[in-house]
Amino acid sequence: MQTELSRKLGIEHAIFGFTPFPAVAAAISRAGGFGVLGAVRYTAPDELARDLDWMQEHVEDRPYGLDVVMPAKKVEGVSEADVEAMIPEGHRRFVEDTLAKHGVPELAEGEASGWRITGWMEQVARNQLDVAFDYPIKLLANALGSPPADVIERAHDNDVLVAALAGSARHAQKHADAGIDVVVAQGYEAGGHTGEIASMVLTPEAVEAVAPLPVLAAGGIGSGEQIAAAFALGAQGVWLGSLWLTTTEADMHSRALTEKLLAAGSGDTVRSRALTGKPARQLRTEWTDAWDDPSGPGTLPMPLQGLLVAEAVSRIQKYEVQALLGTPVGQIVGRMNSERSVQAVFDDLTRGFERAIDRVNRIAGRD
């Protein structure tokens, strides 16, 4: 699975694996792909430095990258406290009423909520970059489009390629105009923040829009046959995220959540604003249903929604409240029905790719 981009980065397979787990990212790189560590959950720079130190020791000198969530436009002088103050009291009551309806216990006195989803606030992301550029990362990806111009310049000064996610050909062209190096064309099927155009349509449109820039296909890809299809559509690699959630290296901190993922079908996800305020594909639960119900208050825009629900999500996860327990995941969850190592996933992907190439060669009379 070699392409011009994979050769440029020195990887064996043009498989880019996005994950919040350092152990998974390192295993992806060791398996011959390109591990990309998601930084959004790191609110403290020293925590990110700790995990990048760990990755340096475990990637076996293979290349890896970092994914941040950073708006292209800068908002001056706005703190997290300022943003929190914008949250309406009625929305806070709705959260508490929903949790009470399902008997979700409160956190212990003095216990802080876990993951506060603030990584998309610009200063948080900039603090992450101050750490990241001290490490030999080879790719910086931004999940909210093109990063600010000075960040792109700084990355290039450090010989780091810049990637940006796009949900349409128009978005992809804007990224190219901004000077990024790689477009990740993320289709409707993908987990997390995603647009409304399916991968089969989006990938060739993005390839045509930004040629000769390389495009990675993302969304609904979980087999070697699908990777071969992405290459046939013009992609120079694939960007896989959801597929790694049920690997043995993933630290989900919840057996109940892992079991929900293993049992879910491809129709058990929903594109909802419940988690962050932007449409994000995730497991459908009674939590997402409550937020999407027209009788409710509706979600708030990013980043208000993420701050509003941060403690609630921590409580749901800590107490493993089955009806409400969910996570961002794509429609490929229907294939994620067993726990396997990252290497085993790679073995399956490469075998499937070979089967697809053999099939095409037979059809073309080249066998």
Burial of residue 289 (number of CB atoms within 10 Å: 0-12, 13-18, 19+): middle
Nearest-angstrom CA–CA distance, 1 and 137: 22
Nearest-angstrom CA–CA distance, 264 and 334: 6
Cα-to-chain-centroid distance, residue 87: 26
304-318 and 89-101 helices, crossing angle to 10° = 20
Task: Tell me the pLDDT of the chain (367 aa) as tens digits.
Answer: 999 999 999 999 999 999 999 999 999 999 999 999 999 888 889 999 999 999 999 999 999 999 998 765 555 556 667 778 899 999 999 999 999 999 999 988 877 665 555 445 677 888 999 999 999 999 999 987 899 999 999 999 999 999 999 999 999 999 999 999 999 999 999 999 999 999 999 999 999 999 999 999 999 999 999 999 999 999 999 999 999 999 999 998 889 999 999 999 999 999 999 998 999 999 999 999 999 999 999 999 988 898 899 899 999 999 999 999 999 999 999 999 999 999 999 999 999 999 999 999 999 998 7
Cβ neighbour number for residue 165 with a 10 Å cutoff: 28
DSSP for residue 317: H
**Residue 269, helix vs strand vs coil:** strand
Angstrom distances, CA of residue 238 to CA of 193, 232, 307, 319, 344: 17, 12, 31, 35, 18
Q: Give the global pTM.
A: 0.93
- CA 82, 88, 93, 94 dihedral sign is negative
Cβ contacts of 76 within 8 Å, gap of 6 or more: none
Beta strand spans in the chain (E): 15-19, 34-38, 64-68, 139-142, 161-166, 182-186, 192-193, 215-218, 237-240, 269-272, 280-283
Lookup result for tokens 């980043």: 303
